[in-house]
A and B are shown apart, each in its own frame.
Chain A
Amino acid sequence: MTSAHTTPTGAPKRGPRELIFELGAPESSCVLAPEMDVPEIDLSAALGGAIRSAAPALAQVTELEIMRHYAHLAEMNFGVDSGFYPLGSCTMKYNPRINEDAARLEGFAGLHPYQPVDTIQGALQLMVELSESLAEVSGLPGVTLQPAAGAHGELTALMCFRAAHTAAGDPRKKVIIPNTAHGTNPATVTMCGYETVTIPSDERGLVDLEALKAALDEDVAAFMLTNPNTLGLFDPQILEITAAVHSVGAYAYCDGANLNAVMGKTRPGDQGFDALHINLHKTFSTPHGGGGPGSGPVCVTADLARFLPGPLPVRAEEGFSLESPEESIGRVRSFYGNFGVLVRAYAYVKALGGEGLREVSEQAVLSANYMRVRLNDVFDVPFDRTCMHEFVMSGARQKREGGVRTLDMAKRLLDYGFHPPTVYFPLLVEEALMIEPTETEPLSALDAFIGAMRAIAEEAASDADVVKGAPYTTPVKRLDEARAARETILRYRPEQ
């Protein structure tokens, strides 16, 4: 595998490279403080003597070194712009560039959160209109844009439920989730002081309605459901489910991770849900940023709106203002939300309009079904029926026949130039591969990925070791993750 004969000594290589602390020289610098134009002061005296004895060991580099360093790091990354990224449940759609430009307009990026309200009318209008659009898409009229992420939105909604139950006399004790739930759901339940009750799925991969009914009692505060669920299936019993939840006075919560499947087709509010979080970084095209920032607005029924975290941007008699709901649970973070992300989502809604949003969901669902039927002969699809915007295959056959695991196939996909699907989730499918193409991928990309998956299935049958040894073409090879967890080197030290 070595390229020693063809690569001249000293040629720059892709792959592991120096840390920024290992570059530059002690006297190198890039941007310095301005000349002092006010009288110098005795810094130690001014700061009450709390002066550090040694400077922090930051990088000492020039501007070119910074740009090269991050250019090399960027080369080692894979983004939506690099290629097809069918990561299930993550909705890795294209991030429109006008959204990026919009968030950087100085009239938005330069706003201080405590400016007088009459100097931020454009920002408030944007937030109000975005809230109204989200309310229309969700069928739930109360909206807060404050939560910083999906998990943060889940917590906000559960806090509203707790407040509403408490106002009715009893905060209740338990929250029910299906065994297909994202890990954030039970973690959020705990963080909100509730106990998690997990119910099984039925043989169709849907909510086991009888199990749900059996678990429901007056101690249940809420039922959390992702619909379409994490298998990519829309639960046709949804109206019975939400009615059963309501029958014991509990609230129905929709994890909106999969909203990209249903915009303009069906609304969580019309399905009987009382609250929903929306991942703007999934459905509304804002970038994932390598892990964030996202934004997780929460939409609730008119009844629950009085508990939302404040302040909320609202229409005033003249223009727009900020207002806290009467029985607000209080803030869930500082200021008003991830405003820069809201600007991007707003631009997206404005670009598409209501009709465009419906087309998004229709194409996302069609593309997923197209991939499903083109792959379900070589891979097991445990719940093989019409799916929504994503579907879950199993690598069980490949594991059984050639000892190739889903993880191996995921790594092999990297060699074919694709980002792998979500793997080993949901837990209920053995060797799961969860594929979400999104509507922004051309047919040629879908076909190329299908071709790669079929080729890997063949490799798994004929030459399993090739797949097990993958990847071969990436900047680094498979990592020793056990060593990382045992040694826990979490920061650079010069002697390392």
Chain B
Amino acid sequence: MAHPNDRKYSNEHEWVLVDGDVATIGITSFAQDQLGEVVYVDLPDAGDTITAGDTFGEIESVKSVSELFAPVTGEILEVNDGLADTPETVNKDPHDAGWMIKVKLDDASEYDGLMSAEEYDDFVTQG
């Protein structure tokens, strides 16, 4: 279960990859594996604001629904519209093509407070 080192992770199983003040957010490989086959992703619209700790969307497998929790606060710049037609991308490529939203970071310290890949690996193996 490779969780790349170029980004940080939340305890709600989202990853955050920062480039300047833009954060790209998706769910982890571990999370997609737990969910099983993803059939639908419900995401907010560009222009909306998300707040760290609050839900910003939902992800569905055949027989489960999980909420997506915002790991950081900020305005949504872009949404991965391709997931509407091919939600399975979240399973196939969770850390890259399966990204969900891009956010303009309000507060960089929120990012700093997230887990490193190593810490996240420990977090999921300890259950």
Contact = CB atoms under 8 A, between A and B. Distances in A.
Direct A/B contact, Cβ within 8 angstroms: yes
A4 interface: no
A482 B37 CA distance: 6
Interface residues of B, number: 9
Chain A at the B interface: mostly helix, strand, loop or mixed? Answer: helix
Interface in A456-496: 481-482, 485-486
Nearest to B36: A482
B14 interface: no
A396 to B, nearest CB: 15
A482 B36 CA distance: 9
Contacts of A482: 36-37, 39, 61-62, 88
Contacts of B88: 482, 486
A485 B41 CA distance: 12
B87 interface: yes
B61 to A, nearest CB: 8
Contacts of B62: 481-482, 485
A482 B35 CA distance: 12
B40 interface: yes
A262 to B, nearest CB: 31
Interface in B106-125: none
A486 B84 CA distance: 9
Contacts of A486: 39-40, 87-88
Chain B at the A interface: mostly helix, strand, loop or mixed? Answer: loop
Nearest to A424: B63
Interface string B48-61: 00000000000011
A485 B61 CA distance: 9
Contacts of B39: 482, 485-486
A486 B36 CA distance: 13
Please indicate which of the listed interface residues B37, B60, B87 has the most CB atoms of chain A within 10 Å of its own CB: B37
A482 B87 CA distance: 10
A485 B60 CA distance: 10
Nearest to B60: A485
A486 B41 CA distance: 10
Contacts of B61: 482
A486 B83 CA distance: 11
A27 B37 CA distance: 45
Nearest to B85: A486
Interface string B15-55: 00000000000000000000011011000000000000000
A485 B88 CA distance: 11
A482 to B, nearest CB: 4
A481 B37 CA distance: 9
Contacts of A485: 39-40, 60, 62
Interface string A5-46: 000000000000000000000000000000000000000000
A485 B59 CA distance: 13
A482 B64 CA distance: 12
Contacts of B60: 485
Please indicate which of the listed interface residues B36, B39, B40, B60 has the most CB atoms of chain A within 10 Å of its own CB: B39
Contacts of B36: 482
Contacts of B87: 486
Nearest to A485: B39
A223 to B, nearest CB: 26
A323 to B, nearest CB: 44
A482 B39 CA distance: 6
B109 to A, nearest CB: 34
A486 B61 CA distance: 10
Nearest to A480: B37
Please indicate which of the listed interface residues B40, B62, B88 has the most CB atoms of chain A within 10 Å of its own CB: B62
B58 to A, nearest CB: 14
Contacts of B37: 482
A334 to B, nearest CB: 33
Contacts of A481: 62
A425 to B, nearest CB: 11
A486 to B, nearest CB: 5
A482 B32 CA distance: 14
A486 B37 CA distance: 10
A441 B120 CA distance: 52
A406 to B, nearest CB: 13
Interface of B: 36-37, 39-40, 60-62, 87-88
Interface of A: 481-482, 485-486
11 contacts: A482-B36, A482-B37, A482-B62, A482-B88, A485-B39, A485-B40, A485-B60, A485-B62, A486-B39, A486-B40, A486-B87
Given A482-B62, A485-B60, 10 more contacts: A481-B62, A482-B36, A482-B39, A482-B61, A482-B88, A485-B62, A486-B39, A486-B40, A486-B87, A486-B88
Please name the 8 residue pairs, one residue from A and one from B, whose CB atoms are nearest each other, closest first. Answer: A485-B39, A482-B37, A481-B62, A486-B39, A482-B39, A482-B62, A485-B62, A486-B87
